[in-house]
Amino acid sequence: MLKQAIAIIRPKKNLTSAGADSLFWLYDGQAVKDLKELKDALKKASNDQFAHHVNAEKNDFACWTEEVLRDRNLAVKLRQCKTRLSTVRAIETHLQKNYAI
State the residue range of the domain holding 89. Answer: 34-101
Provide the number of structural domains found in the chain: 1
Report how far residue 25's alpha carbon sits from residue 15's, in angstroms, rounded to the nearest whole number.
19
Residue 56 lies in a domain: yes
Q: What is the DSSP letter of 68?
A: T
What is the structure's pLDDT at 3?
55
| pLDDT greater than 60 at residue 5 | no
What is the structure's pLDDT at 100?
79
- Going through the chain in order, the beta strands assigned E by DSSP cover 24-25, 31-32
Query: Which tens digits make up the pLDDT trace of 55-76?
Result: 999 999 999 999 999 999 999 9
Query: Which tens digits make up the pLDDT trace of 77-92?
Result: 999 999 999 999 999 9
Residue 6 lies in a domain: no
